[in-house]
Amino acid sequence: MTGLSPTEHDILNTARAQPMLAQVEDWAAINSGTRNLAGLAQIAERLTAAFSILPGALELVAAAPAESVAADGSVSEVEHGQHLHLAVRPGAPLQMLFTGHMDTVYPVDHPFQTLTWRPDGTLNGPGVADMKSGLAIMLAALTAIEASPLAARIGYEVVINSDEETGSFSSAALIAAAARGKAAALTYEPALPDGTLAGARGGTGNFSIVVRGRAAHAGRNPEDGRNAVVAAADIALRLNKARGPRLAVNPARIEGGGPNNVVPDLAVLRVNFRPATQDDIARAQAQIDSAVAMVAAEHDVHVSVHGGFNRPPKPIDAGAARLFDLVHASGADLGLPIAWQHTGGVCDGNNIAACGVPVVDTMGARGGAIHSSDEYLIPDSLGERAALSALTIARIATRGGL
């Protein structure tokens, strides 16, 4: 390691000494699928106890309302778990944001529920990479900063939400409020197995488009009916025409219909958009508005649109480039090669960047096969990534910003 001050050496030693692996094993043994409210309450209790070693005001925040559209077209509110929020030294002139999520993609009835040590030394288990290990790394880094003389120079907020895997609909406002006025942010999604970080990200938008027509007998008086399935298919085809190199469009499912002798009066179209830029969002929204209006008129049906672009694109602007350069330099002084690449995936880093805050959103452990029963963590990366975070934070504190 080169270029490290005595204070930085002490910070790194403290970060690496934290019980990260034990925490990962404990936390990953709790099913915290986004819809498992009991499991989320349990993991929130564990995280509250763990993060309470940090100073500041810690609370569990009730989830904001979020809607869901059922196959019958009805709209209801979806319950989510509480979100953890910690504010430390809010009066400090330099403020940062640290975010992560406690939920996983594995529901309570998923067969993948246990931890297994593999012969290659990796740990296989639900959420070990995405992102129970990231939470342990975040805590280790912040614990090391708090034990150092640099602590008084920096204030920060921590947000650990319970709904990231389903789009952060109930936590987006909390994240946006926490991002306000921050000099930089770190989010603890997993890095790739070789340590590569995510750079620029595209955005995403998810929509449920409800089409209501009119039922009729398919043989006796079909002309009196208004076929909702056909109208929904027409919308899907029109939306698909907007696709291009910078805008992916995926009409994923049409729900509706019934007996073959009944003209269907209800259909729900589910469609996903992946825009590369804000201009692509505008183009997609214009296509949605046009398709809905034209189909409603031509098919004589009623159409309602639910959803939106919940993850704006995340470009690498000047501020983000400075933060990446700092992470890269810190990695070099630790003997860690740091590279990054564009990805089509999305996370809360998209939302933070949309607030104008520079963010690196893959500061978590090295691992792979996330969102599958082959998900694994490389345990040796816990210490290295905790050191990388701690050193990055320390240097931001020393400089008074980026």
Query: Is the same domain home to 87 and 143?
Result: yes
Would the pLDDT of 1 be above 90? no
Average pLDDT (245-258) is: 96
Average pLDDT (89-118) is: 98
Does some domain include residue 45? yes
Residues contacting 80, CB < 8 A, separation 6+: 34, 37, 40, 63, 66, 162, 163, 170, 171
Would the pLDDT of 23 be above 80? yes
Query: Is the same domain home to 268 and 378?
Result: no
Would the pLDDT of 346 be above 60? yes
| Cβ atoms < 10 Å from Cβ of 54 | 17
Residue where a domain terminates, one of 311, 327, 347: 311
Query: Is the same domain home to 343 and 269?
Result: no
User: Which DSSP category does 303 fall into?
Assistant: E
Residue where a domain terminates, one of 256, 284, 311: 311
C-beta separation of 359 from 402 below 8 A:
no
Structural domain span for residue 306? 204-311
Q: Give me the pLDDT at residue 344, please.
A: 83
Does some domain include residue 1? no
Query: Is the same domain home to 158 and 298?
Result: no
Q: Give me the pLDDT at residue 246, please.
A: 93
Pick from 92, 141, 23, 58: which is nearest to 391 by CA? 141
Give tens-digit pLDDT for 304-337.
Answer: 999 999 999 999 999 999 999 999 999 999 999 9
Residue 110 three-state SS: coil
Domain count across the chain: 2
Does some domain include residue 173? yes
Q: Give me the pLDDT at residue 2, please.
A: 65
Residues contacting 15, CB < 8 A, separation 6+: 140, 141, 143, 144, 383, 386, 387, 389, 390
Query: Is the same domain home to 305 and 190?
Result: no
Query: Is the same domain home to 99 and 120?
Result: yes
Average pLDDT (25-34) is: 98
Query: Is the same domain home to 176 and 255?
Result: no
Residue where a domain terminates, one of 292, 311, 330: 311
Does some domain include residue 72? no
Query: Is the same domain home to 166 and 244?
Result: no
Report how far residue 331's alpha carbon sits from residue 392's, in angstroms, rounded to the nearest whole number. Answer: 9
Query: Is the same domain home to 48 and 172?
Result: yes
Query: Is the same domain home to 357 and 294?
Result: no
Query: Is the same domain home to 125 and 247?
Result: no
Query: For all residues of the chain together, what is the average pLDDT?
Result: 97
Report how far residue 297's alpha carbon sits from residue 372's, in angstroms, rounded to the nearest whole number. Answer: 44
Q: Give me the pLDDT at residue 103, please.
A: 98
Does some domain include residue 183? yes
Query: Is the same domain home to 178 and 220?
Result: no
pTM for this one?
0.95
CATH of residue 186: 3.40.630.10
Give tens-digit pLDDT for 127-165.
Answer: 999 999 999 999 999 999 999 999 999 999 999 999 999
